[in-house]
Every structure is written in C-alpha cells, then in structure tokens.
C-alpha cells in the first residue's frame, strides 16, 4: 500500500493536482495531473516523477499541455531542465505529446519500448488509413479535433530519437519493464519498487480501448523482424494476454495508472487484480454481443449500432465503437464462434475476413470463453 498526500489540490478530476506517494519501503513518487490540451471528459494524464540522482519522468503528458507540466514541476521545486530521463508508457499523444519540447529544454534521454520507434514513423498513418477509410463514419473521426491534433503530433514526434529502447523484462535504472501490447503495440508497464506504472494498460473505472488485429495485417510488412512472424501485438487477444501477465505479478504491488487515479474528488487505488476485472469485462462484452447476434447474420456497423447506445455511436464516436466491436468479433472468430459471408455484389476492398460489408454469423457457441481462459 502507498501513503498518499495531496501537495496541491486541483479540480475534481485531478487536473492541476500534485500528489506525493510513499511506499512502505520509503520510495517516493510524485504525480502531476497534467490536463488534456482540449476539452475532454478523460481527466488528466498522470505524469509520474521519480527523483533520485537523476529526475525520471514517466510520461510527459498531452501534446499542447507543456505549460501544465512545467507548472507542476515548478511547484515540486524542480524545472523542466532537471529532467534527465523520460520513460514513455506508449506512443499516444496524451502520454508522449510533450516529448519534443521537454527533450529540447532538458536534453533528457528518451526511453520506451523498441516498438515505439516504429510508432514514430509518420508513414504508418497512411497504412493505417487503408482499411479504416472503408468504415462509415471514419471521415467524422478523422476530422475530429482529436485526430487533427494526433496527425500534427505525429509530425512533430517523428524526429525524436529513442535513446534507450527496452524489451520485455528489461531492467535498468531501478525500473523493470514489462511489454504489455494490446491497447497500443508499444505499451509498457513499468515496475519501480512496489509500484507498477501501468500507462493505459490497467486503468481504474474505465477500460483501455483495444486495438484491432486487422492493424497487424496493415503493418506486418513494415514491422521490425522480431514482431512480424505472427500477430501477438494487436487486438483483443494481445490485450487479454498482457492483462493476464500483469495480474500474475507477485508481491504487494500498487498500480499507478495514467488516467483516473483520482476522479470526482476521490482516489481510486488499485492493484494488479484490476487487470483481471478488465479481462472479465471483455468476456462479458463477448457474451453481450452474442445476444445481439442471436437475431441473425449482421454486418458490423449494424451490430455496433445495435449494441451501443445512440450517444456512444454519435458522429466521430462511431469509429471507436466500431473498432471496439471489431476487436471482440476478431477474438470470437479466432475462437471459432463466428463465421463470415462476403457480399459478392460489394465493390468494397476488404481483403481480410472482417469488413464493413461482411456479414457475421454467430454459431451459437461460447468457445471464446475457454479461449480466453487458455491465453
Ligand atoms: Zn491515455
């Protein structure tokens, strides 16, 4: 268990809040609730500060939110120029967005999983758009403020140099790194003392959005050799496998997540058992989807609209809801519960099993459940 002390109170979701955590062994970690740079219901990204001989920053926070990080560090009596090491949990802009200016001002080393270097390549964007463009509602998603910023952010980050690429179970600087792909193909959980910085892999109150296995097909040819021999890094199967690994970590470990550590005026302390709750949430979601598929073969867009509420599939949200459903259907298909039929009159160009014009039929089985147990 960690002792928790609020050093500065911010708003009810933790924006602008500073926290000091002390472990039973006396290790101290400070946390800065760095707000997102635009209106968001997510709350801040929690950026963690470890002060030793060097100052290590786990995630510098959202693209466009540098001033909040600077203010936070100043209130801790430190400055951006003191940062000697940035550890990135994964290459999404609410986590690594401030890397370029922090590195410019401090000369800090950049540490991340070796797949992060692949994430930095701007060309990825075009590969990604291929199949996504086929999904109705992708335009709305691509034109949303979040995506416009993400594209800007990717351009700015492409010049970053990954000084210290890490792999699974790498140990250095008092940190142990665990490779936990699924939400993102470069996701890391980082163990320090009895604390696991979980990035977006394990979150309280909310669940990380799974990537889709389809992305592996888009990227396979361009992936580093160690990762292109079979998909273990994209999709729900990868996410659940990674959740199981973290749930199995031994010891009295406290999880410090990148979001929702504090929400509506309250801390939400979690341990690694939260990873099992998230896994069970996805198993439940598979069961819920079978309820909708009972009605007969359906295309995935209709399935998405029938499964989620109207608000959840509004404009740019639709694409996220669609890929959430797709991640589950992919897993159920691999488990043997789903068959697909392609509409022969369709002019669309999906090449791989699932697509917007593909009808999915449920076999009436729940092989996915045993499949999940065996991961
Ligand atoms: Zn995030």
CA of 208 from ligand 1 middle (Å) equals 8
Q: For residue 311, how far is its CA from the centre of ligand 1 (angstroms)?
A: 21
| pLDDT tens, residue by residue, 268-324 | 999 999 999 999 999 999 999 999 999 999 988 899 999 999 988 888 889 999 999
Q: Work out whether the CA dihedral 50, 56, 61, 67 comes out positive or negative.
A: positive
Which tens digit of pLDDT belongs to each residue from 222-244?
899 999 999 999 999 999 999 99
Per-residue b or e along 143-171, where b marks 16 or more CB atoms closer than 10 Å to that residue's CB: ebebeebbeebbeebeebebeebbeeebe
Q: Output the CA 258–ligand 1 centroid distance in Å.
A: 6
Q: Ligand 1 centroid vs 92 CA: distance in angstroms?
A: 7
Percent over 90 (pLDDT), the chain = 75
pLDDT of residue 229: 92
| pLDDT at 106 > cutoff 70 | yes
Centroid of ligand 1 to alpha carbon of 61 (angstroms)? 9
Q: How confident is the model at residue 146 (pLDDT cuts 50, 70, 90)?
A: confident
The rounded Å distance from CA 336 to ligand 1 centre is 32
Q: How many angstroms does the Cα of residue 42 sit away from the middle of ligand 1?
A: 9
Give the distance (Å) from ligand 1 centre to CA of residue 265: 20
pLDDT of 316 reads 81
Output the CA 94–ligand 1 centroid distance in Å. 5
Beta-strand relationship, 175-179 and 171-172: antiparallel
Cα of 349 from ligand 1 centre, angstroms: 32
Q: Domains of the chain (ranges plus CATH)?
A: 3-275 (3.60.15.10), 282-374 (1.10.10)
Residues 6+ apart with CB under 8 A from 154: 93, 120, 122, 124, 125
Cα–ligand 1 centroid distance for 351 (angstroms) = 31
pLDDT band at 260 (very low <50, low <70, confident <90, very high): very high
Integer Cα distance of 149 and 312 in angstroms? 21
Compute, in angstroms, the gap from residue 9 CA to the centroid of ligand 1.
Answer: 22
Q: Rounded distance, CA 110 to CA 92, Å?
A: 15
Residue 83 pLDDT class (50, 70, 90 cuts): very high
Question: What is the Cα Rg of the chain in Å?
Answer: 21
């Amino acid at each position: 268990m960690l002792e928790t002390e609020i050093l500065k109170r911010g708003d009810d979701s933790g924006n602008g809040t500073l926290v000091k955590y002390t472990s039973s062994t006396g290790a101290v970690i400070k946390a800065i609730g760095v707000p997102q740079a635009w209106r968001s219901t997510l709350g801040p990204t929690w950026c963690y500060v470890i002060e030793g001989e060097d100052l290590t920053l786990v995630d510098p926070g959202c693209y466009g939110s540098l001033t909040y990080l600077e203010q936070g560090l100043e209130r801790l009596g430190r400055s951006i120029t003191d940062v000697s090491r940035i550890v990135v949990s994964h290459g999404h802009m609410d986590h690594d967005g401030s890397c370029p200016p922090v590195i410019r001002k401090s000369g800090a080393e950049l540490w991340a999983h070796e797949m992060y270097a692949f994430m930095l390549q701007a060309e990825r964007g075009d590969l990604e758009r291929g199949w996504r463009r086929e999904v109705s509602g992708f335009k709305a998603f691509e034109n949303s403020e979040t995506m416009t910023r993400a594209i800007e952010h990717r351009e700015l980050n492409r010049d970053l140099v990954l000084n210290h690429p890490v792999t699974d179970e790498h140990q250095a600087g008092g940190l142990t790194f665990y490779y936990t792909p699924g939400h993102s193909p470069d996701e890391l959980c980082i163990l320090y003392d009895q604390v696991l910085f979980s990035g977006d892999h394990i979150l309280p109150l909310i669940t990380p959005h799974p990537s889709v296995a389809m992305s592996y097909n888009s990227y396979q040819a361009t992936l580093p050799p160690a990762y292109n021999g079979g998909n273990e890094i994209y999709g729900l199967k990868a996410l659940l496998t990674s959740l199981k690994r973290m749930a199995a970590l031994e010891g009295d470990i406290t999880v410090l997540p990148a979001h929702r550590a504090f929400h509506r005026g309250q801390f939400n302390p979690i341990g690694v058992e939260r990873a099992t709750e998230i896994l069970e949430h996805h198993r439940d979601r598979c069961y819920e989807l079978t309820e909708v598929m009972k009605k007969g073969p359906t295309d995935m867009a209709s399935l998405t609209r029938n499964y989620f509420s109207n608000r959840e599939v509004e404009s740019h949200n639709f694409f996220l809801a669609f890929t959430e459903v797709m991640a589950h259907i992919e897993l159920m298909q691999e488990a043997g519960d789903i068959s697909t039929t392609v509409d022969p009159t369709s002019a669309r160009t999906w090449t791989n099993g699932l697509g917007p014009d593909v009808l999915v039929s449920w076999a009436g089985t729940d092989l996915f459940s045993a499949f999940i147990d065996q991961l």
